[in-house]
Amino acid sequence: MSPFLLFCFAVLPILDASQTLQKVRLRPRETGERTFTDEDNREMFFHGVNAVVKGPPWIPVHDEFSTDLSLADRDFKIMKELGLNVLRLGTMWPGIEPVRGQYNETYLSVLKSISEKAAAYGIYTILDMHQDILSEKFCGEGIPEWAVKSDGGFHLFGSFPAPLAKPFNRTDARGFPVRQDCAKHQDWSSFSVAEDYTAACQALWKNVDGIGDAWAQMWGRVASIFKGSEHILGVELMNEPFAGDFYHNPLIMVPYPFPRNADKINMQPVYDKLNTAIRAEDAERLVFFAGVTWDDFGVGFDHPPGGTDFADRSVVAYHYYVPPQMNAPHDAFQFKQQQKAARRLRTGSMLTETCFSTNDHSAALCGQLFTEPGGIADRADAALQSWVAWEWKSFCRETAETLAGESQWAAWGACKTGYGPAWNATTQEPPDLAGYARTYARAVAGNTTSMFFNVTDKAFKLVFKIDTHAQSPTEIFVSSEHHYPKGLQVFVSPPTAATASYDQAQNSNKVLVRHNSDATYGQEVTVKIIKSFV
């Protein structure tokens, strides 16, 4: 008899994805880093998308569907059908605090409404304080206009964007560079060499005029609004933070393990301050924290935000693009290094942003495609890492008037510094749906050893060690529409240890695996799924 047993299509109760989401915690793995777990101690994995609006009103449309601006019921229905279970939602400081000390409660209310709607479809939310090139003053976005300061150092070059180019001498009605000047440099990341920009980043790290304190107070306000909201997976302190004023301190650009790297010298003290403000309002909230984007050897912090006592509530957030990553996605180096850092810090880790499709407007940064064999998603699975792809849709809309105008802002949002793909106008769906709908284990009742999905033949393999104390089953997402149109077959080995079920008649998107009474704690189980051909 084969060591694998083809299970019968038994009908077992399928968990309702719209039920109240369980609180997510972190627990240590045998290798030292921490893994996401639910209240039944099942190991959890997340696949998701980003949704970031980079200009006013700084938030997606939430009450009606559109192919470019919305996070409405239809969006979340599609996400659910694709197996996505996390949303990284732009939580924009200019939207929260447009005037210093005055919080926009309407904006915060809409953020909460969107996250609650996502939860109704089984989708967690990461609240991401997004920024790229810090401010419209540097052709980017991220912090309020009032928070843009200089570190006070002597400037070696002229005003922005020197020394990248001659200083811009035209501004819009708000005093920002005009979009026509910003567009002269199609690679927006090149503005990171502008001395004015580096000085403004350093001012934030140095708390010039108390702007670091204001940042902490803003996060404290957000934490208070979302306290007790278990559908909030965590808060990400800052998207892709920059090192600071390297013109006056070039050594901050040298990544870990150099001991004077920017993560440790500039960011860590500020992250400690932010952590204190968040914990004062919500002591148990998971805090996601990132170092500089070129941390190819892992983040350079020597403790998580707030210190080692908070490691069990901290997650290293890293990104994967080529460049700035120096290796192609088929090389697992980047994943190994970030996990190594998480082990050193005893935190969790997650790939919170990476390029998904050549159809989006940051495609030049993709390197290997997300959906190719051996690409980023395959390597994430091999490293047992959760991921969040960039980006669900464009979340910006231009008109003839805004295109002809000087403001960097569009009619809604801002179409700059990387934005998402155009949707199919006929189907009103995002491109590359099959790429999103990968087969993966969302919850494992035990300790995961390996997970692999073959994007070519759609075969899936999960190996894990059973936790016999877990009352809930292992749950594997499968998409019959995109990968198993003629059905699927599931094999479990050894058959005495666990039993699998799949409700084909109800077009279920879950294979459930339950341990049998003969199973022993720590016993290794292999689950294989293949597509049917008849």
Could you give the residue numbers annotated as active site?
240
CA dihedral 160, 164, 170, 171 (to 10 degrees): -50
The per-residue b/e assignment along 319-351, b for 16 or more CB within 10 angstroms, e otherwise, is bbbbeebeeebeebebbebbbbbbbbbbbbbbb
Residue 76, CA distances (Å) to 18, 82, 131, 275, 402 in order: 11, 10, 25, 31, 30
Neighbouring C-alpha atoms within 13 Å toward the C-beta of 495: 11
Residues 439/455, Cβ–Cβ less than 8 Å: no
Other CB atoms within 10 Å distance of the CB of residue 23: 16
Q: How far apart are CA 70 and CA 76, in angstroms?
A: 10
Other CB atoms within 10 Å distance of the CB of residue 169: 9
* Residue 163, preceding peptide bond in cis (omega within 30° of 0): yes
Other CB atoms within 10 Å distance of the CB of residue 112: 17
Neighbouring C-alpha atoms within 13 Å toward the C-beta of 158: 9
Q: How far apart are CA 239 and CA 90, in angstroms?
A: 9
Strand positions, DSSP E, 171-264:
232-236
Residues 387/354, Cβ–Cβ less than 8 Å: yes
DSSP conformational letter for 324: T
Which run of H or E residues covers position 95? helix 93-96
φ, ψ at 39 (rounded to 5°)? -70, -15
Three-class secondary structure of residue 448 per DSSP: strand
